[in-house]
Structures are given as structure tokens and as C-alpha cells.
Amino acid sequence: MLAMTAPAAPRRIRLTDVGPRDGLQNESQPVSTGDKIAFINALSLSGVAEIEVSSFVSRKWIPQLGDAAEVFAAIERLPGVVYSALVPNMKGMDAALACGVKKIAVFTAASETFNQRNTNASIAESIARFEPVVQTARNSSVQIRAYISCAVACPYEGPIAPSAVAQVARRLLDLGVDELDLGDTIGVAAPGDIDALYDSIEPLVPAAQTTLHLHDTRGTALACVLRAIERGVVSFDTSAGGLGGCPYAPGAAGNAATEDIVYCLERMGFDTGVRLERLIDAGLIIERALGRRLPGRVFQAETSSRCNPAS
């Protein structure tokens, strides 16, 4: 038996599975709408608090998610689970509202170069696009998450100063978003970077009102989650099986695998609300659809005897 550090009282950790969006946006081979729906419905049964279902963005930019409306129309939305989607502008907001979406995520970055490549806009221009989106969302009782990508480093500009992240955070909070989501887009963070980031962010907003979105390119995501929990963060984005990446962030691997985070946190006495078996069922659905092994460590360990998609 491993020695585990248990917190004084079990604390709830909120997980958003972003695999259907962040994972599938990066797949070079098409995934059928039916497979996406089956994957999301299986994730719904796993106990994750939120599922990032898709993106209402330009099909020319992200063809993989061009079926967002069809997916939203067909998934079974369970009470207690939040089903969210990325929205870059009013066109996306109108489409999201037409699908009955109750939580949106606008997205900008702390790096001008990344934001230009990702959304064809400067940081200021992207925030200007959000103004009517946020206003419409508030009038429609839709919750608003705001991503800041490149919160630690940029694939084009290198390390990003925490103060630059705080500047963007300030503008988004002034706009009236409900939640900040800080993205380590290319997965370079080590625990010290998480400290530096929160030293800069916490004067603006409590850590408990932020979400951390870690890509696990270098295997440091779990260490960063643990450090972030020490700093008071209770909400993380993860993806089933470690699916993921961003087409405009070359070399970025998937998000922290949901199973890895659930396994470790539950063994430490935290409560994620997630049933690992059900989560693995969901991962197997998308693994079969993709026809290749998913990279998540716990997923692989738990399924090595259950499934081999190549057979």
C-alpha cells in the first residue's frame, strides 16, 4: 500500500472533461457525429461535473467540430451535469443559444502571437468581440467561462510573464465573466510556475474561482494539479484518456488525463464525484472510434486486459 497524504477533510474537486472539444478538435481523422454523441453520453454517466461538448467556431478553422449543433441536439443532457461550448463571437453565441447551451467559454490568450494565429485577432480585438457575447449571455442566464491561453508559455513567443496573464484576467473580469480558466496550452508548467501564476492572479480573484487547464506534454500536469490544490484551486480541466491538443499550438499534447487525476486525487482522499469504471467505458468508446490507444496512464493500465483497438 502506498503512503498517501490525506487532507483533513475530503474536499470536492470539480472536473470538466474537455475531451470532446479539446481532444477531438485536434484529431486529423474525422470522428463521426454518432461516435461523439456516444462518447459524451458515456461521459455524462461518469460523474464529471461538466463536459465541454464542442465549439461554435468557424468550420474553416476547426473542421473537426463543424457538427456542434448536431451533437448538442442529440446528446442526453443529465440534470446536474453542465454541458458547455466554446464561443468566439456573436455568430457562435447565436448558434449556441439556438442549441440551448447554458454555459459558454470565450477564449483569448496572454500571447499576442498565439491569439492572432488562433482567432485572427489581437487580444484587445478578441475581448472587444466578447463584449456583446457576455452581455447576451448575461441576459440569457448563460454562464460564462473565459479562457486565457498561454498562461505559462506560448509556442511562438516562449515564456509568458505572469503579469501579462493578470492584465488579461483584469480585462475579462471587468467584462463580467463568471470564471477564469488558465491554460498551459503547450504543457510546460512545473509547480513553481503555478505558484508564480497564482501569486499574480490572486490579488484579482480567489484561486477557488479559477479553473486550471493543463496540457500534459511533459508529464508535469499531475504535479501542477497538486500544487494548485495547495494554492486553493478546486476546478480542473482534464480529458478522458488524455485526448487533446490545439491545432494552433504545434507540439502540444493532450490535457491531463481525467483518469490519472481522478485516480490520484481519490487515493489522496479528495472527492471528484467520478466513477473510474464509467469514465473508462467512455474512453473505450472514443478509443475504438479513433482506432488507436489513448495515452492516459491510468486508462492504459486499467484497459490493457480489456481492449486492444488494433485487434
State which residue, 216 or 302, has the beta carbon closest to Mg ion: 216
Contacts of 169-172 with C-beta under 8 Å, sequence gap 24+, read 169/201, 169/204, 169/205, 170/204, 171/127, 172/106, 172/108, 172/127, 172/130, 172/146, 172/148
- Is the Cα torsion angle 305, 309, 310, 311 positive or negative in sign? positive
With CB under 6 A as the contact rule, the residue among 91, 102, 138, 275 that binds ligand HMG is 91
Binding of ligand HMG by 62 (CB under 6 A): yes
Distances (CA, A) of 106 to 9, 53, 60, 160: 34, 14, 18, 20
Which position's Cβ is nearest Mg ion?
A: 22
State which residue, 22 or 260, has the beta carbon closest to Mg ion: 22
State which residue, 173 or 268, has the beta carbon closest to ligand HMG: 173
Query: Could you give the string, one character per residue 194-213, with x where binding to ligand HMG holds by CB under 6 A and - elsewhere?
Result: -------------------x
With CB under 6 A as the contact rule, the residue among 147, 236, 263, 270 that binds ligand HMG is 147
Type of residue found at 32? S
- Reduced to 3 states (helix: H, G, I; strand: E, B; else coil), residue 233 is coil
Residue 275 C-beta: closest distance to ligand HMG, Å: 25
Contact partner, 91, from ligand HMG, Mg ion, none, Cβ < 5-8 Å per class: ligand HMG
Q: How many CB atoms lie within 10 A of CB 10?
A: 13
Binding of Mg ion by 22 (CB under 5 A): yes
State which residue, 40 or 253, has the beta carbon closest to ligand HMG: 253
Phi and psi at residue 76, to the nearest 5°: -90, 115
- Nearby residues of 34 by Cβ (< 8 Å), 6 or more positions away: none
Tell me the site size for Mg ion, rule CB under 5 A: 1
Distances (CA, A) of 221 to 88, 254, 257: 26, 10, 9
Contact partner, 225, from Mg ion, ligand HMG, none, Cβ < 5-8 Å per class: none
Query: Could you give the string, one character per residue 4-23, with x where binding to ligand HMG holds by CB under 6 A and - elsewhere?
Result: ------------------x-
- The residue among 8, 60, 1, 2 whose CA lies nearest residue 269 is 8
Binding of ligand HMG by 185 (CB under 6 A): yes
* Cα 65-68-72 angle, rounded to 5 deg: 145
User: Among 9-17, 57-65, 153-161, 275-283, which window interacts with ligand HMG (CB under 6 A)?
Assistant: 57-65
Residue 145 C-beta: closest distance to ligand HMG, Å: 10
Contact partner, 123, from Mg ion, ligand HMG, none, Cβ < 5-8 Å per class: none
C-alpha cell at 288: 475504438
Query: Could you give the string, one character per residue 233-272, with x where binding to ligand HMG holds by CB under 6 A and - elsewhere?
Result: -------------x-x------------------------
Residue 246 C-beta: closest distance to ligand HMG, Å: 4
- Cα(41)–Cα(74) distance, integer angstroms: 10
264 part of the active site: no
- Nearby residues of 188 by Cβ (< 8 Å), 6 or more positions away: 152, 153, 217, 218, 220
Q: How many CB atoms lie within 10 A of CB 22?
A: 26
With CB under 6 A as the contact rule, the residue among 14, 41, 61, 97 that binds ligand HMG is 61
Residues annotated as catalytic (active site), given as ranges:
246
Q: Which spans of this chain sit near ligand HMG (rule: CB under 6 A)? A: 22, 25, 55-58, 60-62, 86, 88-89, 91-92, 107, 118-120, 147, 149, 183, 185, 213, 215, 246, 248
